[in-house]
Amino acid sequence: MNSAHDPGHGSSPAAWTAIVIMLVAISAGTLFFWLEQPTLVWASTGLLALGPVVGWAVAKAGYGVKGPKYKAKH
C-alpha cells in the first residue's frame, strides 16, 4: 500500500478524543435510559453531538492525521 494515499484511518488524537466522548455519551445515555432519567438521556444526547465538534476542533488545532502536531506511530 502506498503510504502517500493512506488517510490514516483516524488514528490520531483528534479522532480518539471524539470517539471517547461519544462512547461515554452512549454509555451514559443507555444507563440513564435504563434508570428512567429522561433529562439525563437528553443531556447524553447533547454530549454525543458535542463529540464530533470537539474532534474537529482538536484536528484544527493540529492534532489530526495530517496536522503539524501529529506524530504517527510506526
Rounded alpha-carbon distances, angstroms, from residue 49 to 7, 24, 58: 24, 12, 15
Per residue in 21-49, pLDDT (tens digit) is 999 999 999 999 999 999 999 999 999 99
**Residues 12 and 67 sit within 8 Å (Cβ to Cβ):** yes
The residue ranges of every structural domain in the chain are 11-63
pLDDT at 6 over 80: no
Band of the pLDDT at 1, cuts 50, 70, 90? very low
Distance CA 30, CA 27 (A): 5
**Residues 57 and 13 sit within 8 Å (Cβ to Cβ):** no
